[in-house]
Chains A and B, each alone.
Chain A
Amino acid sequence: MSLSLDEVRHIAKLARLELAAGDAEATQAKLNGIFGLIEEMQAVDTDGVEPMSHPQELAQRLRNDAVSETDRRAAFQAVAPQTEAGLYLVPKVIE
């Protein structure tokens, strides 16, 4: 499998990466190199092997349902670029 230039641009857009002119080709070559590795791995017979979701053979530890956090808004917002009325301000997003 190899990626087309359009697919590379689409992936870049999903990842919010700006590709300068000419970068798409270089990125395509790198990504296709990775796909080459994946192809090699896909040649391995994995019948009967349970898909791995985490490299550690452990189960998730659970926390009791209790409130342990206090309001630290002032500290967090002191390092935010822009706030108002307790809100974080971001460039306008319109639906």
Chain B
Amino acid sequence: MSRTDWEVVIGLEIHTQLNTQSKIFSGASTAFGAEPNAQACAVDIALPGVLPVLNKGAVERAIRFGLAIGATVAPKSIFARKNYFYPDLPKGYQISQYELPVVQGGQITLQVPDGKGGAYEKVVNLTRAHLEEDAGKSLHEDFHGMTGIDLNRAGTPLLEIVSEPDMRSSAEAVAYAKALHALVRWIDICDGNMQEGSFRCDANVSVRPRGQAEFGTRREIKNLNSFRFLQQAIDYEIQWQIDLIEDGGKVQQATVLFDADTGETRAMRSKEDAHDYRYFPDPDLLPLVISSEWIERVKGELPELPEALSARFQGEYGLSAYDATTLTASREVAQFYLDTVAAAGAANAKTCANWVMGELAGRLNKAELDIAASPVSAAQLAGLVQRIADNTISNAIAKKVFEALWNKEGESADAIIEAQGLKQVTDTGAIEAIIDEVLAANQKSVEEFRAGKEKAFNALVGQCMKASKGKANPAQVNELLKKKLG
């Protein structure tokens, strides 16, 4: 069988660290980067006799997420104990939610790049999202043959977001993870810092012959902390499973790790019993009851969501679905774009989009800056866009002006255009004078053009632009040059 006869089925479980000040069941700080165990209190290290007390801020963030994906926020949900032994889990169980999670259902619409420069729309359904506590960290560097345990992370609130097995390629899985990553930052429940482990993905991957109704046996790839690794790990895993089945083997359900150095996935030996967690309701915690008033209040405080804003950008500003999605990738980018359009005028919305996604994004990327720290403000960019729109400067000159704005050579596009004499020459007489000069100096090109060589015309336009230092209006140069040669 060839590759195309196989259908890939992927579901993701994503652990998002909620950006609360304190832990989910204790009053210890969640700040990242503290001295080992300086933020691990008696509850976190499971001293005898301590009891968990649920953090309202963590619950509120779960409600916010549920509303943002159109899910049911359960009026009553239950905390359960997930039992396993590992040194970074001092209680011997993790407090999680099992039978009745706080967020049930919901869906998210995404744009998946089609690999040909375009994108298609995809709806991914969510199964659930539940609150739980994070574990500590094991440090395996050598401590005289022992392992070091840092429990600062133990008890950090997590929202585990579980999707349905709705994705059919690694590209779809990455698009989903990116959309979710953007959403949790948008609604400000998670800082999304993947290097610090605030957003971690597990991927359930299986393959089946196309047309087969039941799923193949899945393997779960654990702890992928970058979109690139997510893609690589899934692609490797898919090929591994197909090769195995085509060689007559059978996939065994397993938990696997991705090795970023080799690009391979390998089964974890120690987690043989990993799925035997013996969940039961935690007697230390009463049911979590969320009133409809609370849900309504949170709903009223939600910002306009990226999907709605993206639809508005397409409807009001005529942007493509892909551009609208790019501009709603984060609240900061969307706000910058909105501010730019507000200052430049809605008629220039498309040009604003091109500049925010093009020159500005490229420059910020190169300088490794967030848009919030952009040296060029939305108002300055709007001023630049307006001068392009009214033909004061050409696109090529606009790039120079942008560069000058970036380097703080002037307060505004107007000031820079004025100070550096970059105003586009639209005076017909002045342009004709330049053309005459160029024609006189380039007789060879003129003859070539007259002999039917079209390329010679472009060369002459280029010479005219150069002679005007880029300031001549290109359309006028074209027109007048044609007249003179014709």
Contact = CB atoms under 8 A, between A and B. Distances in A.
Given A54-B283, A59-B289, A65-B56, A73 B40 contact: yes
Nearest to B58: A65
A40 B151 CA distance: 44
B40 A59 contact: no
A88 B37 contact: yes
Nearest to A88: B149
Interface of A: 10, 13-14, 16, 53-54, 56, 58-69, 71-73, 76-77, 82, 84-95
Given A60-B289, A87-B139, A73 B38 contact: yes
B402 to A, nearest CB: 43
Q: How large is the interface on B (under 10, 10 to 19, 20 to 34, 35 or more residues)?
A: 35 or more
Contacts of A61: 53-54, 286
Contact of A62 (B54, B85, B140, B287): B54
B146 A69 contact: no
A88 B38 CA distance: 12
B330 to A, nearest CB: 24
A69 B87 contact: no
A53 B78 contact: yes
A83 to B, nearest CB: 8
B410 interface: no
B27 A63 contact: yes
Contacts of B217: none
Contact of B140 (A54, A58, A86, A94): A94
B275 to A, nearest CB: 11
Given A68-B27, A69-B22, 15 more contacts: A53-B100, A53-B281, A59-B288, A60-B79, A62-B56, A69-B29, A69-B39, A73-B40, A76-B47, A87-B150, A88-B151, A89-B149, A92-B140, A93-B87, A94-B270
Interface of B: 20-22, 26-29, 35-42, 45, 47, 53-59, 78-79, 83, 85-87, 100, 138-140, 143-151, 257, 268, 270, 273, 276, 278, 281, 283, 285-289
Given A54-B286, A73-B37, A73-B40, A93 B53 contact: no
A90 B148 CA distance: 6
9 contacts: A10-B276, A53-B281, A64-B57, A76-B42, A87-B36, A88-B87, A88-B148, A89-B148, A92-B146
Contacts of A89: 143-144, 146-149
A53 B97 CA distance: 12
A14 B22 contact: no
Contacts of A86: 35-38, 150
Nearest to A52: B281
A58 B88 CA distance: 32
A88 B57 CA distance: 30
Contacts of B148: 84-85, 87-89
B231 to A, nearest CB: 23
Given A54-B287, A76-B45, A93 B138 contact: yes
